[in-house]
């Protein structure tokens, strides 16, 4: 028997509601080391491409590191960190080692970029917000496929010196790195304070 439209909508809404509540940040130390199929990563990026954006600028850009590319990424960020912090006298060996080794635990790492619209008519903050919506789409897709994912904005993310590696312009922004990995354990239940505490209804 075919489902009617109301049943389909109801089932879809239920699935989406569950995905949103089940989404978690899953960190590299929780990954098994297994490889995620590239077709799943491609689907995550395809869904990211359907995020809402003002002016249809589609400001998201993605650099995907996998296989030997993970070592290239690890070397880039650890060596940049070492060069910059040693010059400033703030070098931390433990952080250096983390930047060098943590990427190797992932299956894929996606560098997240906001490419500024050449027209410049859309406020930059709205371009960043659009990219964040794209990342949420990736998060939810990862959840649907049972894939661990984590948006990291630490390390070299906001350093101007990191832009050169990705060929970014002065107004473009590097917004972090999306780690993806295989997981084989149940994730803890999420917790949020009641939404009622954060809502003001104005009906007149």
Q: Average pLDDT for residues 62-66, to the nearest whole number?
A: 98
Q: How many other β-carbons are positioned within 10 Å of the β-carbon of residue 202?
A: 4
Give yes or no for residue 153 having a pLDDT over 50. Answer: yes
Taking only the tens place, the pLDDT of each residue in 65-92 is 999 999 999 999 999 999 999 999 999 9
| Alpha carbon distances (Å) from 6 to 10, 12, 18, 57, 196 | 6, 10, 18, 34, 28
200: pLDDT strictly greater than 90: yes
The continuous run of DSSP H or E covering 175 comes out as: strand 173-181
Mean pLDDT of 90-109: 97
Q: pLDDT tens digits for 25-47?
A: 999 999 999 999 999 999 999 99
pLDDT confidence band for 120 (50 / 70 / 90): confident
Is the overall model pTM greater than 0.85, yes or no?
A: yes
Kindly tell me if the per-residue pLDDT of 144 is higher than 70: yes
CATH architecture of 25-65+106-183: 3-Layer(aba) Sandwich (3.40)
pLDDT of residue 118: 73
1 has a pLDDT exceeding 50 = no
Looking up tokens 């249809």 gives 56
| Closest to 135 in 3D by CA, of 154, 150, 123 | 150
The pLDDT score that the predictor gives to residue 175 is 98
What pLDDT band is residue 4 in, cutting at 50, 70 and 90? Answer: low
Of the chain, the percentage scoring pLDDT greater than 90 comes to 88
Listed by start position, the domains of the chain span: 25-65+106-183
């Amino acid at each position: 028997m075919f489902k009617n439209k109301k049943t389909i909508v109801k089932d879809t809404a239920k699935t989406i509601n569950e995905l949103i509540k089940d989404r978690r940040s899953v960190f590299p130390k929780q990954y098994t080391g297994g490889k995620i199929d590239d077709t799943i990563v491609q689907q995550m990026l395809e869904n990211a491409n359907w995020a809402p954006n003002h002016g249809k600028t589609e400001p998201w850009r993605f650099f995907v590191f996998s296989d030997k590319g993970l070592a290239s990424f690890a070397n880039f960020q650890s060596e940049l960190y070492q060069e910059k912090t040693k010059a400033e006298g703030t070098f931390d060996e433990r952080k250096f080692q983390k930047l060098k080794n943590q990427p190797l635990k992932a299956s894929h790492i996606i560098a997240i970029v906001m490419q500024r619209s050449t027209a410049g008519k859309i406020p930059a903050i709205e371009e960043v917000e659009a990219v964040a919506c794209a990342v949420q789409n990736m998060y939810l897709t990862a959840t649907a496929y049972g894939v661990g994912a984590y948006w990291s904005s630490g390390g070299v993310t906001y350093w101007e010196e990191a832009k050169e590696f990705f060929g970014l312009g002065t107004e473009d922004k590097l917004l972090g790195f999306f780690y993806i990995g295989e997981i084989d354990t149940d994730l803890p239940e999420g917790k949020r304070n009641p939404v009622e505490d954060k809502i003001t209804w104005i009906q007149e």
